[in-house]
Amino acid sequence: MQVLKFGGSSVADAANISNVVKIVRESVKKDRTILVASAIGGCTDKLIEIGKLAAMQDESYNKLIDKLEERHQKIIWELLPIDYQHALSSKTKNTFNQLREICKGVFYLKELSNSSLDLIMSFGEVLSTRIISERFSSMGINNFWADAREIIKTEPGSSGNVVIKQISYSNIKKTLSSNRQRLIIVPGFIASDILKRTTTLGRGGSDYTAALLAEATDARELQIWSDVNGMMTADPRIVPEAITIRHISYKEAQELSHFGAKVIYPPTIQPAVSKGIPIVVKNTFDPE
Ligand code: ASP
Ligand code: MG
């Protein structure tokens, strides 16, 4: 098993998603693969803004939902052949209508609880991974879309939601043994609690989803696909002289990520350490 996680910029539009699909199509030839993806670039920030505006009874949140829906529908039109477009497009429309209903509730209540915000944020990964899954299907590549909300279970902790590993890992194993597809697609970031309420794993949490899946399945490798050339000596957007660190220990990687290296979400390292799974950080836009 190998787990490949693609971040928001890797799946930001139709061209990028088709690039991701190309990478994964080749990789799947090697090994059974779990593909974890984030929401399309900028989507989670928008969803948070939508929730906050709704709670302040600022009706402009409706326009933002419309725009976000247009962005997803455009990707569907650009990415999928006509005979695949219709079903996903109407499913996406329904999903956005659900989001509108939830936001209407927040609007009337004038309050955005953590739990409502988690629910609102969860739409991004559901939408993006459904599109990716359908793209594979349209190319004749059999895959299984596994709903992370039914697999990864969390409980409240002192600083955010904590994953209940025992239940989650047993769910992961069950899902993978009852669905024998070679490619499994999982929305990152989202989970649910014991009462089946949607939860999230914190901003940047898709990396962690991927690491949990890797640990539960004893994966050979965990690949984090981003938009920079691996773990670097500094943020290349701020320090152009930054260079790639070819190899780094788990411990140092953990320290760097704790001190702000955005390339890996800090909790991601621990599940990999526990099974000695190598983490490979790759650039979707410069795969070699
Ligand atoms: N979409 C979520 C975020 O923006 C999770 C992730 O991308 O890892 O924080
Ligand atoms: Mg990230």
Q: Quick one: three-class SS letters along 147-178? A: CHHHCCEEEEECCEEEECHHHHHHHHHHHHHH
**Cross-strand bridge partners of residue 225:** 6, 282
- Ligand located closest to 226 CA: 2
| pTM of the predicted structure, to 2 decimals | 0.97
**Cα–Cα distance, 94 to 41 (Å, whole number):** 21
Alpha carbon nearest to ligand 1 atom 9, residue:
203
Tell me which amino acid residue 2 is: Q
Q: Does the beta carbon of 267 sit less than 6 angstroms from any atom of ligand 1?
A: no
pLDDT tens sequence across 162-179: 999 999 999 999 999 999
pLDDT at 263 over 90: no
Q: Which atom of ligand 1 is nearest to the CA of 125?
A: 1
Tell me, what's the pLDDT at 258? Answer: 86
| Run of H or E including 278 | none
CA of 93 to the centre of ligand 1 (A): 22
| % the chain with pLDDT above 70 | 100
For residue 176, the tally of other CB atoms under 10 A from its CB is 20
Q: Does the beta carbon of 204 sit less than 6 angstroms from any atom of ligand 1?
A: yes
Q: Does the beta carbon of 188 sit less than 6 angstroms from any atom of ligand 1?
A: yes
Determine if residue 120 is left, alpha or beta; phi over 0 gives left, psi from -120 to 50 gives alpha, anything else beta: alpha
| Run of H or E including 279 | strand 279-283
pLDDT tens sequence across 128-171: 999 999 999 999 999 999 999 999 999 999 989 999 999 999 99
Query: In 51-210, at which residue ranges do the beta strands (DSSP E only) sit?
Result: 144-145, 153-157, 160-163, 183-187, 190-193, 198-200
**Cα–Cα distance, 160 to 109 (Å, whole number):** 23
Q: Does the beta carbon of 206 sit less than 6 angstroms from any atom of ligand 1?
A: yes
